[in-house]
Structure 1
């Protein structure tokens, strides 16, 4: 019986989009059993097919050539997972397999029928290697590759990308047609939020010099980064269920055996919480609640602003569409240079920064409301002035800033004002809350940074505290809460705050204030 490469069935829409991506750097994150490794295998053949065919006189046909290195953390893990799956699709009997380190598999694929139009061959060279106790530089040294695959990329050193860039695009040689498409890709389960995969694929954080080198190598015509998140295993659109024994029951069993933190990552496909807390909004989903492309402000719609006052103030700016969707499109917070900690800023400096943001990003847009932490209206700002934080910020920014309509600044109302739209669907199946992908602080907070901390009782872990931790994410999230309460999402015993109408709506209609308005915000 002749061995043959198995025909692959589609895993699902996200996996298919990952396979088809032509970006230089591509990642797919999915639950255990989501078919990510199979999608990675399919990418190998996709990349090979994208190479330039060159006539081979000896074979009397065109030939494409491709060499890919698949990297894992250790050889035991490589053999137990990746290579085991690889041989389910490409048996050892095809071509030449070597089990020596690094493992290699070389074979030729016939595409079409000999003698017929379009027939050609693909020479595939697969290298399976592991980092182990070596450095990435040592493991990749001397490789001349078409593509590089980081299997379980979150477990690999961050510098795999840095050293990998110099290794791909070097095969086939120019005399063999040259490399027409070079790529680096990886698959992984949802890691903790502080993993380097989050920085690369969510924040799109990449060294500028490295990005410039890639752009020069590709002529600037190849997209730099693409990221694909599969639905969670319990979600309606879960992928690869048709290939799992028991279908969705597979995930039900997995979830029953896992801790909540592990289930969140391995089944729900959500970035893990930092280890000392629980995310405030487990309803949040990057796939559903974050726009695929940056959100531009919609002309004709006024801006809504939420502000958190104090020594480390923050602001969030949004709009509300006629379809009932709140779109968060900008955030403002000041960080110390080369640090993740917020910088202390007074109301004057913050008011100036907010005015600059509005003038540069949203010129000509009216401001429907600007709601701030109610405590900002009390007392003085602490610097010897007789004015409150609210009054100073309002005067400098030329905005009519008001205390948020939250009785006693009730935390439950504020959290529910965000939680409710996270679980609500509007016309066309769209989420009621949509976040611009450039709001990095807000997104990190949603994923896990804005959290409840677990208390310690007699040296053992106790229950979670009933208030979120004050950290670099909490201030932006407080600001977002004031915006959402002002938008009417707050509820007290099922009724909207303000008796069913948002408090900012006056009897005569909406109060509109433009950024450049010249008026006394404290006038009667």
Structure 2
């Protein structure tokens, strides 16, 4: 039960360390990400009133502020945000709520300090679906600050436009020195990859195709903060299946009628990951190629350094979007140490990057190179293969398989994932992690329930996933799977750098 003040008002108290930090945060912009039911919307409503009370009074002893609360549509505002607002600021106590669009609620009360000042807090509920509308609509408003609700659907340009209108009310001419504080904040559930928040937090590297000007928009200003609440549940893998248990650090739980353990009943793992475990999700519309991969069991909480004396196993995937995965086998555990992603580039551009990566991260260490057999195939247009380009730089690519059988590839990786302590990904290998977590997937067959395409979707995650497959197969796992394990596994001969002519027809 909430405590009651001397005036008979309910006293709001944030329930949780991160929620409390968010409520008192006074940075120019603050983003808080949490699972459903974590109390951020309620905290945001009370934060508006708290800041309204902190505003310095003008010449007439009135503390004036003006706020925008926004979502993508008026329907969303009416059905969610407005209901939360009126739960805490009901009309019979705080005055009439104007329901014409844009909706408005004007709060006028004596300041709680009983210093003779009054609080005049105007709250405008405004639908802003995208950046174009934000530029048009926001130009009409002069505000103190804003609250963007459900920010997992919001473009960064919307936030930029809203911030450009903050601090313009109250005006300096009205006394009080203008806005005592101005800025905004946004609450959100975990977004899908591609959202700007994980980029600005540093969770995910910026796409390589992004220009320098575009990348500057994702540099975090000093007066911006990003907060993440604890997950609603804890997850562990038992015999390849996720098992959940309550998280004692989960916030706002004493105010929920339904526990997280009840909420997840009948839900898909992708829903649980984003909405309860507070994990950044994927644009996943199918079935993961490697469903037994678990971030809990297979992603290390730090980066392993390479072990001297052991070879670096380099898995390669070719084509115009090449990828390289750099692995080591340490006492039977495969460690993915680093990754390299290409973007619309040929082997002539990617091969020097691979060699430079090796010299910078693994100097004076031996390396084996295992690739897709197609990297060694000649085409009708040229006699020069990707293998030739790598060999010309001292890197001899061996084919990981002879027939590229998809069953062999999948079975090899699954056998490694199933082993206790058989596979670990360094924390910095974000593309490998997200690929194995479901970015590499089978597409649904339209119109047929429960049916999926026989081959994985080719996308930004498939190339690095196949590079890992090639490293594991070539590194010995595939050989152990399909051959007599007592036979000696063939090893590549030491690389002898030799010059290969890259002119057509000369070998």
Instruction: Give me the TM-score of the superposition, normalised by structure 2.
Output: 0.68
After the TM superposition, which of the residue ranges 90-99 and 4-13 deviates more from structure 2? 90-99
Find the counterpart in structure 2 of residue 435 from structure 1.
Answer: 427
How far has the Cα of 1:393 moved from its partner?
1.0
Which position in structure 2 is the counterpart of 1:460? 448
- Cα gap change, 1:75 to 1:176, in 2 (>3 Å): same
Indicate if the aligned counterparts of 2:373 and 2:400 stay in contact, CA closer than 8 A: no
The question of 1:127 aligning with 2:128 is answered: no
- Matching residue of 1:338: none
User: After superposition, where does 1:88-103 map in structure 2 within 5 Å?
Assistant: 88-92=87-91, 96=95, 98-100=97-99, 101-103=102-104
Task: Tell me: CA distance 1:140–1:211, structure 2 relative to 1, closer, same or farther (3 Å).
Answer: farther
Which whole-Å CA distance do the structure 2 matches of 1:21 and 1:488 have between them? 53
Of the three residues 15, 22, 33, the one matched with 1:10 is 15
Q: How far apart, CA to CA, are the structure 2 residues paired with 1:501 and 1:185?
A: 62
Which residue number corresponds to residue 504 of structure 2? none
Change (3 A) 1:416 1:64: farther
The answer for the alignment partner of 1:140 in structure 2 is: 138
Change in Cα spacing, 1:306 to 1:20, as seen in structure 2 (3 Å) is farther
Conserved? CA contact 2:326–2:338, under 8 Å: yes
Name the structure 2 match of 1:83.
82
Aligned: 1:40 with 2:37: no
In the alignment, the residues of structure 1 paired with residue 356 and residue 436 of structure 2 have an alpha-carbon distance, to the nearest angstrom, of: 26
User: Aligned residue pairs: how many?
Assistant: 470
1:70-469 equivalence runs, <5 A: 70-92=69-91, 96=95, 98-100=97-99, 101-106=102-107, 124-131=121-128, 135-155=133-153, 159-174=157-172, 176-179=176-179, 182-190=182-190, 193=193, 221-223=222-224, 226=226, 228=228, 231=231, 235=235, 236=245, 237=247, 238-252=250-264, 255-256=265-266, 258=267, 265-267=274-276, 269=278, 274=283, 276-281=285-290, 305-310=314-319, 312-317=321-326, 326=335, 328-335=337-344, 343=345, 345=346, 347-358=347-358, 362=360, 365-373=363-371, 375=373, 380=378, 384-385=382-383, 389-396=386-393, 398-399=394-395, 401-404=397-400, 410-416=408-414, 419=417, 432-436=424-428, 439=430, 442=432, 445=435, 448-456=438-446, 459-469=447-457
* TM-score using structure 1 length: 0.66
State the alpha-carbon separation in 2 of the partners of residues 288 and 227 from structure 1.
25
CA distance in 1, matches of 2:451, 2:46: 45
- CA shift for structure 1 position 376: 5.4
Gap runs ≥5 in structure 1: 336-342, 426-430
- Shift in CA distance, 474/138, structure 1 to aligned 2, threshold 3 Å: same
Q: CA RMSD in A?
A: 5.4
Q: Could you list the per-position Cα deviations for residues 77-124 of structure 1 after superposition, in whole angstroms to 9, with x for gaps in the alignment? A: 32332222234344546655533443224356867x679xxx999875
**Measured at CA, do residues 471 and 140 of structure 1 come closer, stay the same or move farther in structure 2, by a change above 3 Å?**
same
Pairwise CA distance, 1:474: 0.8
Q: Structure 1 residue 333: deviation in Å?
A: 1.0
Contact in 2 for aligned 1:307/1:370 (Cα 8 Å): no
**Structure 2: any 5+ residue segments left out of the alignment?**
1-5, 236-244, 501-507
**Structure 1: distance between partners of 2:81 and 2:456:** 40
Partners of 2:37 and 2:479 in 1: how far apart?
40
Q: Tell me, yes or no, if the aligned pair for 2:304 and 2:337 is still in contact at 8 Å.
A: no
Match of 1:479 in 2: 467
Deviation at 1:452, TM superposition (A): 0.8
